[in-house]
Structure 1
């Protein structure tokens, strides 16, 4: 066990593996929960631990037997309910790091870079020291990074309540390598204020990817907080079908305002998708699969399916049409499967290996019909055509799954873990 008075810095503790007494890893530390108290040092009450399935649970510090470099040892008793932060609690990583506070001695403002918790003689863990950085001087290229120093907890004012300035650098650094779906989980776990701050700090493309993975309530809250101009920019960066789904959940007046601020070309596809019912092929489809003419060489087609923004399902085939090549296209000819292209000479044209027998659906086809065809023919995507057999878009298996799963599937985790559960004290 870390000795009495030995500081454990939370920023370094984050990401540390958590083990049970027999040496099996049960998760990783993601945050520390503290209680801010008037005239007394903040008390650390527990760790937020991420267990398999990306679920975050609460581990009381009373059930931590050892904190050592690179590992935390617990008693093995975990409450497997998803962690929900209480109103009286403050998360160190989520709320205190990067917070701007005032020095009590009047020497100015400092930014909290790290928080140290220490075990007391009575067994409690308290925040006794802070690593802070003074505000740098100068401006522009001459701006200096301020000095860093370790101070006692009572040397600063402003840890409790809503901070006047709440930075996001530490959180963004931790989130930089996460996939959009994982980052969406992290945002959902944050308090609403912190969630909006972090979302606003992401660039448009990154935020667009994350919004596509969030539930509708989180999407709407973040979009409303961005302001009309930036919200329209983010919608433009989203896939048209995802942008249409998001706008479909907004009041008509707000959706119309955002559409009016989007670039006309970007808004055109979204408007088309909004005209279809949700549980139809038209409401499910994307208007931007890989669409090429029959004369395109296989080598060029392979380069197109390497597009970074394509899902694996849409990258599995190329849709071959007569000009024009933008939806709604000219006459739909068929598809070329990725595996077939990999087996043929790269100089051959895709028109020589086209599969013209693939099943198609019309825009009014119901979700059940689309699902049945995907399953029957073992396909990852289906072409959507109109009465003149012009390609309107494509429905992929991931679009279908999103609509088949319960609306709250992102917030529910039915995974079971071989760990005894206890009530959170």
Structure 2
């Protein structure tokens, strides 16, 4: 046979060249190989109540009825798992994996192995729940949903295998909101493994924590030390960082604040002084401001160089006068369409819509709706600009909780990443 399925292989007899039964299959060992399909390196066989290792070189054939060995002699030393080994029954079969295309956790109900030029390899997973598990025993059998292994990221749950897995490259290409959704659905073991991967990119880790629901964010942060929490919060937007610290237990807030870099700590403390549901509590403190005598070209250049500002706050340039008093606003689109040598005073709206720090977020939402705005500047009693509130922050507060929890829109049809040598193994009708 060129393809076999693990669910049918398990507990099948291992037969030596002389026809004698040596033992029964307990597990299959593979080595992950990055973009290539995992290669079978050996079997775990149960021989007389003892689990022993059988190297792949000793396996003459895999068949769903029996496994044929080239020699009846096996090493009877008790099998001990090595750091770079992945066990398909123990680690993958029946466990959840990450469906990268649909950004969801799905369960592997069966595993397909295929004979390839370099040996037996794991090529496909069946993620369709068998009918008997749906409570309909004896019903019409459904076709398996065999999909390419490269569509998934495994969650092995074995710390000593981390070295062989390496960075989860496909997860790194997901949006922070997608990774946050995975964490919302993950159990504790799964979430720890996902976070361990995300932790390799500190900026991505901070973005993911910003996207988490407050309860999940607090739960995952509380499992870290004060210093580790501060490392994440230091890279978050100041308004999100302030919310995260406010949601921590009272006893942990000050130690985390003390561990923050001075600049971030100052911003967070400023925002924590406002009601979280007010414009002041939601605003970003970093704003791109220029004087009215500056040119359009200079403003565009400044916007291009403002890499430290959140992109959502860079839709407009704010004109300020003495003591940072707000004098006008001009959008980036208007700048792009204006004469590069024109003065900002000549192209700006000199009576911009604004809000005070204590303005309710619902009122800010109405301002944005009435005036078709993406950002609203926040000014103090002296009309000095102190921050800017963005439409994404407003939506985050005003969208009802039941809307957040409804089922997301369906994803497009499955896609498979670039196939390995010989093409994609699942380009065939289901169940074939």
TM-score by length of 2: 0.61
The 5-angstrom pairing of residues 312-331 of structure 1 reads 312-322=311-321, 330-331=324-325
Report how far residue 365 of structure 1 moved.
1.1
Distance in 2 (alpha carbons) for counterparts of 1:403 and 1:168 = 42
Contact kept, 8 Å, 1:293 with 1:323, in 2: the verdict is no
Report how far residue 233 of structure 1 moved.
3.1
2:171 to 170, 175, 191: 175
Distance in 1 (alpha carbons) for counterparts of 2:397 and 2:255 = 27
SS in structure 2 of the partner of residue 246 of structure 1 = helix
1:265 to 263, 266, 272: 263
Q: In the alignment, does 2:339 pair up with 1:341?
A: no
Contact kept, 8 Å, 2:94 with 2:107, in 1: the verdict is no
Report how far residue 340 of structure 1 moved.
0.8
- Which residue of the partner structure matches residue 223 of structure 1? 221
2:187 to 187, 191, 215: 191
SS in structure 1 of the partner of residue 166 of structure 2 = helix
Query: Could you list the runs of 5+ residues in structure 2 that have no partner in the other structure?
Result: 7-27, 38-45, 52-86, 116-120, 135-151, 414-432
Contact kept, 8 Å, 1:236 with 1:263, in 2: the verdict is yes
Q: In the alignment, does 2:156 pair up with 1:95?
A: yes
Distance in 1 (alpha carbons) for counterparts of 2:236 and 2:412 = 39
Distance in 2 (alpha carbons) for counterparts of 1:356 and 1:269 = 28
Distance in 1 (alpha carbons) for counterparts of 2:5 and 2:293 = 74
Residues 310 and 8 of structure 1: is their aligned pair in 2 closer, same or farther, counting only changes over 3 Å? farther
Contact kept, 8 Å, 2:96 with 2:155, in 1: the verdict is no
Distance in 2 (alpha carbons) for counterparts of 1:74 and 1:260 = 47
SS in structure 1 of the partner of residue 319 of structure 2 = strand
Q: In the alignment, does 2:427 pair up with 1:378?
A: no
Distance in 2 (alpha carbons) for counterparts of 1:168 and 1:303 = 45
Contact kept, 8 Å, 1:53 with 1:415, in 2: the verdict is no
Distance in 2 (alpha carbons) for counterparts of 1:310 and 1:410 = 27
Distance in 2 (alpha carbons) for counterparts of 1:409 and 1:281 = 23
Report how far residue 391 of structure 1 moved.
0.8
Q: In the alignment, does 2:240 pair up with 1:242?
A: yes
Residues 209 and 9 of structure 1: is their aligned pair in 2 closer, same or farther, counting only changes over 3 Å? same
TM-score by length of 1: 0.62
> Residue deviations 1:302-348, cap 9 Å, x none?
23333455555322111221255xxxxx2111211111100123233
Q: In the alignment, does 2:388 pair up with 1:394?
A: yes
Residues 243 and 69 of structure 1: is their aligned pair in 2 closer, same or farther, counting only changes over 3 Å? same
Distance in 1 (alpha carbons) for counterparts of 2:357 and 2:248 = 23
The 5-angstrom pairing of residues 97-112 of structure 1 reads 99-100=159-160, 112=161
Report how far residue 284 of structure 1 moved.
1.6
Q: In the alignment, does 2:94 pair up with 1:45?
A: yes
The 5-angstrom pairing of residues 81-230 of structure 1 reads 93-96=154-157, 99-100=159-160, 112=161, 170-196=166-192, 198-199=194-195, 201-230=199-228
SS in structure 2 of the partner of residue 305 of structure 1 = helix
> Residue deviations 1:281-313, cap 9 Å, x none?
111211113222323332332233334555553
1:54 to 87, 95, 103: 103
Distance in 2 (alpha carbons) for counterparts of 1:390 and 1:304 = 21
Contact kept, 8 Å, 1:332 with 1:390, in 2: the verdict is yes
Which entry has the higher C-alpha Rg, 1 or 2?
Answer: 2
Contact kept, 8 Å, 1:55 with 1:413, in 2: the verdict is no
Distance in 2 (alpha carbons) for counterparts of 1:233 and 1:57 = 31
Name whichever of 395-404 and 257-266 sits farther off: 257-266
